[in-house]
Amino acid sequence: MRTSAVRIQPPPQREQSLAEVLTIGEIARIYGVTLRALRFYEQRGLLKPIRRGAARFYDSEQKARLQLILKGKHLGFTLTEIADLLDGDAHRARPADDFVLDEKMVLSQLRHLEERRAELDEAIEELRSTHGRLVAGAR
């Protein structure tokens, strides 16, 4: 098996200025996440917003990290796995706005998602069958 790696980058920025610093409410609205989720990501060490008293502000680096967190979740990775992807190879010189997936990680995640899909397909089929029996019994 080859040991090549692929960089996963966040989608393009949605806002105009990367230099702009956003409040927690603004970042929540832009990225469609709850304030609670942002605080949880901070608690887990995934995000490190600028703190001024109780206020939180997000610069371009934190916006990029949030995009990667959301991309990692979309790909089915756990927050622990995402944290490892974001910070695990911090000793390497790399941009803060991407993380590296190697072939083993990609194949492992593919297998995991395929297993979940098979389980969901079975559950859907069972529910369809049960619904069919319920409808037939009601007639």
Q: What is the pLDDT of residue 126?
A: 97
Residues near 11 by beta carbon (within 8 Å), at least 6 away in sequence: 67, 71
In terms of Cβ atoms closer than 10 Å to its own Cβ (0-12, 13-18, 19+), residue 56 is buried
Q: What is the pLDDT of residue 19?
A: 55
> Residue 36 pairs with which residues in a beta bridge?
none
Residues near 10 by beta carbon (within 8 Å), at least 6 away in sequence: 64, 67, 68, 70, 71, 97, 98
- Summarised one tens digit per residue, pLDDT across range 49-64 is 999 999 999 999 999 9
Mean pLDDT of the region 135-139: 86
- Summarised one tens digit per residue, pLDDT across range 7-20 is 665 554 444 344 57
User: What is the pTM assigned to this prediction?
Assistant: 0.68
- Summarised one tens digit per residue, pLDDT across range 69-126 is 999 999 999 999 999 888 765 544 444 446 677 788 889 889 999 999 999 999 999 9
What's the CA angle centered on 30, arms 25 and 78, to 5 degrees? Answer: 90
Q: Is the CB of residue 67 less than 8 Å from the CB of residue 30?
A: no
Tokens of 52: 């001024």
- Summarised one tens digit per residue, pLDDT across range 21-39 is 999 999 999 999 999 999 9
